[in-house]
Amino acid sequence: MSLYLRGLIQRDTWFGQFFHPSVSSSSFGGSTLARQAPIYSKDKDRDGLRRASRFNAQMMDHIRPYLQPGVTTGEIDRLVYGYTMEHGHTPACLGYQGYPKSICTSINEVVCHGIPGDRRLKDGDIVNVDLTTVVNGWYGDSSETFLIGEVSDEARRLVQVTFDAMWVGIHSIKPNGRVIDIGQAIYKFARPHGLEVVREYQGHGIGREFHQEPGVPHYPTPKSARDIVKPGVCFTIEPMLNLGVWRTVKDKADGWTVRTTDGKLSAQFEHTILMTDTGPEVLTLTETGPQEGHRF
Ligand code: MF3
Ligand code: CO
Ligand code: CO
């Protein structure tokens, strides 16, 4: 079983525990027993990664027209479940660590891991839809925040800066560069806009497992200063930016839903990226979704 808990790695609890030198093998404190990021060098492996991510992106294109006022998040979840099964693939979230649905739908002050249900999307909401699929044993993971009807200026601005921050992160990395370059670039971009960067959840390596090394924090950390992005490393960049404070709290009742502690809005975008010898290849680009430079 993966040592990682849940989608985005939860740093404060057992991720921190895992990386504490007294608890487990780790690169913390100079141990040589660090878990290494898997390197995918073979064309066959890279094609497996590309196919899984492409499917995930096409599914995002499939559901995009349904994200309108009046739809419930449960309906979006069922669309994704049906589409995934029809194509003979597996929703990665369903049953993952006991997660009850196929996707995450995170509305307004929900940062991540919102559980789909009867909540109807209404004019002015922002909602992140996070999809992950297993295709022939390979994982693809991506998310988008959708504006429902007419949203406030500050909601639109939050979504815009979060989308741009993801792209700033993508362009910050080069072959054999450091993971910290990503967090540094995103943090430096977001803060002057007056937005806070969520710290308890981060991007992650991905491939034959949902969550693996390297952890990809969206702000600078000591571990990310030591982690190198060699060609063949596959990972996500998935910044969560908040209008208010960065701190989050998990819903005690459902054990999943993560909210901002001040109840202010949060947005997120996610792509899966393969580092190649010539630079990052974004594997989850969609046909009809927002392209780099898009204005919301
Ligand atoms: N897709 C999320 C991520 O980006 C993970 C969600 S795991 C779930 O890593 F169990 F909450 F669905
Ligand atoms: Co995701
Ligand atoms: Co992810």
Percent of the chain with pLDDT over 90: 88
Q: Which of 132, 133, 257 to mutate to test the pocket of ligand 1 (most atoms within 8 A of CB)?
A: 132
Count of domains for the chain: 1
- In this structure, the residues whose C-beta lies within 6 A of any atom of ligand 1 are 6-8, 93, 96-97, 99, 104, 113, 130, 132, 141, 238, 270
Report the mean per-residue pLDDT for the chain: 91
Name the strand (E) or helix (H) holding 235: strand 234-237
Q: Which pLDDT value is given to residue 35?
A: 82
Q: Which pLDDT value is given to residue 100?
A: 98
Q: For residue 253, how many other CB atoms are within 10 A of its CB?
A: 7
Tell me if 13 is assigned to some domain.
Answer: no
Average of per-residue pLDDT across 212-218? 98
Average of per-residue pLDDT across 133-144? 99
Q: How far is the C-alpha of 123 from the C-alpha of 102, rounded, in Å?
A: 25
The structure's pTM equals 0.91
Which residue is associated with the tokens 């701190």?
A: 247
Tell me if 100 is assigned to some domain.
Answer: yes
pLDDT band at 12 (very low <50, low <70, confident <90, very high): very low
Q: How far is the C-alpha of 126 from the C-alpha of 103, rounded, in Å?
A: 16
pLDDT at 102 over 50: yes
Q: What is the CATH number of the domain that holds 198?
A: 3.90.230.10
pLDDT at 4 over 90: no
**Domain encompassing residue 134:** 37-282
